[in-house]
Amino acid sequence: MVAVGGPATALSAPLDLLWQDPFDTQGYSVPLGKTWTGAPSSLPQARLPAAKPIRKPQSLAALTAYALAHNPQTRVAWENLRASAAGVGAADAAFLPSLSLSANGIRSQSNTTAGFAIPVLNSSSESLSLTWVLYEFGLRAAQRDNALAQLYLNGFENNQALSQVALTVTQDYYQFIGQKALVQSYTQTVREDRANLDAAQLKQKSGMATIADVLQAKSALAQAVAQLLSARATLRSDQSALAASCGLPPNNSIPVAPLDVDQLPPSITPSMAQLVHRAVHNNPLVQEAAARILAARATVREDAAQGLPSLAFSMSAGKRFQNNLQPSENWALGFTLKVPLFTGFQQSYAIQEAQRQERSAQASLSQEAQSIALTVGQDYQTVLGAREAARASQIAVESAKASLAAIRAQYRVGLATMLNLLSAQATLTTAEQTRVQDITTAYTQLANLANALGLIGLPRNVTKLPTLAAGSKE
């Protein structure tokens, strides 16, 4: 009996104890705290995507289509799907017989105990063998069902990857065009503040304004310029994010059409209950959780069949050549019956494990469905709220524009101060920023809702979704 926790060398063969590290494996290591540099020169190198010149403004649909075909995330999922498809083929191959050809050649010589040498013996043999499992109580069928379940899992993971990439592109797209709109707003603010400074300096020269008006105008202009520079830096960062989500280098320029701040996102006509019903049936995460139940059930059947008898047929034929003698022939036909009698309780525990994993998969399906239903409900309310906020922000911008025009006219004739003018300008800038943020938020939340529903990309109008009655089947 070997004591647990004893030194590893105590279990080594006696000659192994003579050399502690004969192959110098410690030479691959480095001192503690030092950088390891033992990577081979043939280590595969990561390749960044090639730049793609884009001259025409791209729509969200065009960028999404490009990203689905070029983003590495979708390729990983696609290759996994193709691998699992090959796994189904491997499971199907178990139903066919296996055929093998073997050949060997031997040259040998030996001495007798009396010291006489037996002549050199040259021999060779070739044989052809066939083996075919005839019956095994559903083991191969269960293995094929398990392979199919893995195919379903990878298929739904592929759909989830497509949906996630489309969502990322949509979010980055609206973030980018929204930031472009903010840059335009800050540019207009700088232009207005510069005009305010010119007006204040002109009035100060004519004695109709004090130096305080000029200083206030300069301060407002400096602040507007700083905001513009910061917004431009953020815009460059958002451009890089959009390019990366499309599968392009971060420095790849992507021209896009400007944000239409007067266009509200499409309305939602299906009820929340109808959208939840659709999501539970079409969301890839829910479908993937359902496929895991199929995989667990197949594993239960597979483990159960492992403990049952199996019957196989075998056939072989061959020839043996020895020196210059005539070849000898051999052949064999037979059936093999395998009846497991005792596996040390391994079989029963494997079945119990698979059964509990099936119950766990069923619970996971319910959990995933509830999570998606909650996500759809929250996104539904968020989209409605964001759309109303965007509508209100449009009214606020129009009101702020009218107020600024009135106060500017009053300032020219001395009925308003520079502080009033700058306050009105700041109110308009804030209102325009809020409008851009509310509109882009509404579109982004709509994309989140589409993703929860299992849609690839942003729908043009949610009213196009099929109207689902409770309990109906698609």
Does residue 80 register a pLDDT over 50?
A: yes
User: Crossing angle for the helix pair 346-412 and 418-453, nearest 10 degrees?
Assistant: 160
62 touches 173 (CB < 8 A):
no
* Integer Cα distance of 470 and 327 in angstroms: 78
* Integer Cα distance of 161 and 67 in angstroms: 11
Q: Is residue 151 part of a domain?
A: yes
Q: Render pLDDT for 103-133 as a digit per residue (tens, 0 to 9).
A: 888 888 777 766 666 778 888 888 999 999 9
Task: Provide the whole-model pTM.
Answer: 0.82
The stretch 45-66 carries a mean pLDDT of 89
Q: Report how many domains make up the chain.
A: 1
* Integer Cα distance of 440 and 389 in angstroms: 11
438 touches 389 (CB < 8 A):
yes
CA angle 13, 17, 21 (to 5 degrees): 120
Q: In this structure, what CATH number is given to the domain that contains residue 232?
A: 1.20.1600.10
Q: Is residue 280 part of a domain?
A: yes
The stretch 318-327 carries a mean pLDDT of 81
The stretch 159-185 carries a mean pLDDT of 93
The stretch 198-226 carries a mean pLDDT of 86
The stretch 46-59 carries a mean pLDDT of 89
pLDDT at 113: 67
- Single-letter amino acid code for the residue at 28: Y
Does residue 173 register a pLDDT over 90?
A: yes
pLDDT at 253: 92
- 117: β partners: 111
Q: Is residue 117 part of a domain?
A: no
162 touches 451 (CB < 8 A):
no
Please, which pLDDT band fits residue 466 given cuts at 50, 70 and 90?
A: very low
pLDDT at 10: 54
Q: Is residue 417 part of a domain?
A: yes
Q: Is residue 447 part of a domain?
A: yes
Token digits of residue 50: 């090639």
What mean pLDDT, rounded, does the chain reach?
87
Does residue 231 register a pLDDT over 90?
A: yes
Does residue 97 register a pLDDT over 60?
A: yes
* Structural domain that includes position 383: 60-99+122-464
At a CB cut-off of 8 Å and minimum separation 6, what does 380 contact?
Answer: 268, 272, 275, 449
Q: Is residue 26 part of a domain?
A: no
181 touches 330 (CB < 8 A):
no
Q: Is residue 35 part of a domain?
A: no
Between strands 328-338 and 98-108, the pairing is unpaired
pLDDT at 187: 93
pLDDT at 9: 47
Please, which pLDDT band fits residue 465 given cuts at 50, 70 and 90?
A: very low
Task: Answer left, alpha or beta for residue 138, where phi above 0 means left and psi between -120 and 50 means alpha.
Answer: left
The stretch 410-424 carries a mean pLDDT of 85
Does residue 38 register a pLDDT over 90?
A: no
Q: Is residue 16 part of a domain?
A: no
Does residue 470 register a pLDDT over 60?
A: no
